[in-house]
Amino acid sequence: MTQQRRAILDAICGRGSHPSADELYHDLRQRLPRISLATVYRNLETLASSGLVGKLEHGCGQRRFDGNPGPHHHVRCVCCGRIEDLRQDMGVPDAEGIGRQLGGRYRVVSVCVDVLVVCPGCQ
Amino acid sequence: MTQQRRAILDAICGRGSHPSADELYHDLRQRLPRISLATVYRNLETLASSGLVGKLEHGCGQRRFDGNPGPHHHVRCVCCGRIEDLRQDMGVPDAEGIGRQLGGRYRVVSVCVDVLVVCPGCQ
DNA sequence: GTGGATGCAAATTCTTTGCATGATA
DNA sequence: TATCATGCAAAGAATTTGCATCCAC
């Protein structure tokens, strides 16, 4: 756990939002002016594969990361691109429930729900 | 509706899978050797915005397109990357149901569910 | 000291755009 | 004929990789 990796983890958890690698990079440079974008990408990948952060592939061209690695869903505004966590499960079955419905041939890793909306600010 | 656009629509509907722009491009060159990748991208965008095909942003780095534009969910294998349609709704509330639960402040456009699995072939 | 992590730059990959030409209605 | 679509090539954007150096254990 290098100071860069810790700073990246702090930055992503401290934000509470769903930043892109580039946004994190610009934030981090205030604390660590010599940090490189490659380090941000490499550490996000490392942190994601060890389950400490989540990776969102739903964006328009650019990947977002999530300081909350637990299972939860997202609301994404199709106008401004902002992503928010969905607190309740909204009645969506969890991985086990979906797995049962699929009949056991698949091992279900996770269930990702993305609710595309026009948010109040964009209407 | 040019012959290129029709060929692209045929190719994506005829496949039944969820090809990337590049896969479609290579398929199409057998019929239209002079077609360009830019034309494929432009037409997929056009077809998607007129609702004739679906766009999947969930892939790893590369966008996939869907010949079935209606609302339905997907199963994606985290090993081989294959995407399949999920026929049943699996008990997931539809856009209206989610909209009600969100309390009316958001206009819900669609609900995308991605079930990440290890498929039978990859286990 | 050793192995993994870093910074930098270059390379890759996917996608979009500019522009002259060609096809369509 | 006027308009929109195409092919080609170049540009752009996001991400990854090669490599020498540096840091943590």
Q: What is the pLDDT of residues A5-19, one digit of tens each?
A: 999 999 999 887 899
B-chain residues near A109 (CB < 8 A) = 78, 116-118
Q: Residues A29-33: what's their mean pLDDT?
A: 95
**What's the average model confidence in pLDDT over A25-54?**
95
3-state secondary structure of A33: coil
Tokens representing residue A2 in the block:
């290098």
Q: What pLDDT is recorded for position B60?
A: 65
With a cut of 80, say whether residue A59 has pLDDT above it: no
A42/B59: higher pLDDT: A42
> What is the 3 state secondary structure string of A53-112?
CEEECCCCCCCEEECCCCCCEEEEECCCCCEEEECCCCCCCCHHHHHHHHCCCCEEEEEE
pLDDT band at A104 (very low <50, low <70, confident <90, very high): confident
Taking the CA atoms of B83, B89, B93 and B95 in sequence, report the sign of the dihedral they define. positive
Do B65 and B73 form a contact (C-beta atoms < 8 A)?
no
Q: What is the pLDDT of residue A60?
A: 65
Residue-level pLDDT at B61 = 73
Q: Tell me how far apart the alpha carbons of residues A18 and B52 are, in angstroms, rounded to a whole number.
A: 31
For position B32, what pLDDT does the model report?
Answer: 95
Handedness of CA B78, B84, B88, B89 (dihedral sign): positive
pLDDT in tens, A65-98: 999 988 899 999 888 888 999 988 888 998 999 9
What is the residue-averaged pLDDT of chain A?
Answer: 90
- pTM score: 0.89
| DSSP per-residue string spanning B28-49 | HHHH-TT--HHHHHHHHHHHHH
Residues of chain B positioned with their CB less than 8 A from the CB of A119: 106
SS3 B50: coil
- Does the beta carbon of A100 lie under 8 angstroms from any beta carbon of chain B? no
Residue with tokens 């934000």: A15
In whole angstroms, what is the distance from residue A92 CA to residue A94 CA? 6
Beta-ladder partners of B116: A110, B76
| Chain C footprint bases within 7 A of protein beta carbons | 5-10, 13-18, 23-25
**One digit per residue, pLDDT tens: chain B, 123 residues?**
899 999 999 999 988 789 999 999 999 999 999 999 999 999 999 999 999 999 987 666 789 999 998 889 999 988 888 899 998 888 899 899 999 999 889 999 989 999 999 999 898
Q: φ and ψ at A76, to 5 degrees?
A: -125, 125
B117 → closest Cβ in A57, A97, A108: A108
